[in-house]
Amino acid sequence: MDIHDKARVQWACRRGMLELDVSIMPFFKYEYDTLSDSDKRVFVALLKSDDPDLFNWMMNHGEPADPELRRMVKLIQQRNRERGPVAM
């Protein structure tokens, strides 16, 4: 997926679980444009993960084996925590 095709990336952010939508969509909306191209590639790679894995990682019930994906999960959690809840 092209990291500069924001419509496709946004579509990939939509998940089948509300808990994932609540964490991933706001991160995309408020943070994606500020990421480096390298981090955008990691974010897109993270979106290719299965929903159950993403859910477990976002809820701190495990973490990705890949260190870059692990770093991105922590960044998403940190930025969402700093920003606070937002209306979807």
Q: Domain segments of the chain: what residues? A: 6-83
Q: What are the tens digits of pLDDT across the range 10-67?
A: 999 998 888 899 999 999 999 999 999 999 999 999 999 999 999 999 999 999 999 9
How many residues are there in the chain? 88
Which pLDDT value is given to residue 37?
97
What pTM does this model have?
A: 0.91
**What is the end-to-end Cα distance of the chain in Å, rounded?**
24
Which pLDDT value is given to residue 15?
87
Q: Is the dihedral of CA 28, 6, 35, 13 positive or negative?
A: positive
**What's domain 6-83's superfamily in CATH?**
Flavinator of succinate dehydrogenase (1.10.150.250)
Which pLDDT value is given to residue 16?
83
Q: How far apart are CA 25 and CA 32, in angstroms?
A: 10
